[in-house]
């Protein structure tokens, strides 16, 4: 979605920031497995919601339906964290993954809406 902002400096900065954060997250998971699992969830949510910094240009550029689907997907992912953390709940892992698949589906629908249905 940031690519739709035509290489603006804020968009490029955000892309770099997200990729650097992803590499840091991967390094922590690989080099220090299990040590920062709870902190990792907060880190992942922060990466996911970091796009809110560019909400104004994104709303001006992307179709309204795409924005709604992106926000809905973020909310679903975020709400699913409750089930990820709820270790005492039976089938918590299955519920968590249900939210992940639903959030991913909403984000896929946003991409289809933006890049296929409302082709630039």
Check residue 40 and give its pLDDT.
86
Check residue 5 and give its pLDDT.
83
Alpha-carbon torsion angle 63, 4, 16, 97, nearest 10: 40
Check residue 120 and give its pLDDT.
64
Check residue 104 and give its pLDDT.
97
Residue 113 · residue 69 · CB < 8 Å: yes
Residue 51 · residue 1 · CB < 8 Å: yes
For each successive 10 residues of the chain (120 residues), what is the average pLDDT? 84 92 91 87 90 91 94 96 92 96 97 86
Angle CA 33–97–37, to nearest 5: 20
Q: Determine the Cα–Cα distance for residues 60 and 57; give it in Å rounded to an integer.
A: 5
Check residue 75 and give its pLDDT.
97
């Amino acid at each position: 979605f940031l690519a739709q902002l035509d290489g603006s400096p804020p968009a490029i900065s955000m892309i770099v920031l997200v990729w650097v954060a992803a590499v840091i997250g991967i390094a922590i998971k690989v080099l220090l497995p299990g040590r920062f699992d709870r902190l990792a969830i907060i880190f992942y949510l922060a990466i996911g919601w970091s796009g809110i910094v560019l909400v104004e240009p994104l709303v001006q550029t992307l179709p309204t339906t795409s924005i709604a689907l992106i926000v809905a997907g973020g909310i679903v992912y975020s709400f699913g964290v409750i089930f990820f953390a709820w270790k005492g709940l039976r089938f918590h892992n299955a519920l968590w993954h249900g939210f992940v698949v639903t959030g991913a589906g909403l984000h896929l629908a946003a991409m289809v809406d933006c890049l296929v249905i409302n082709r630039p």
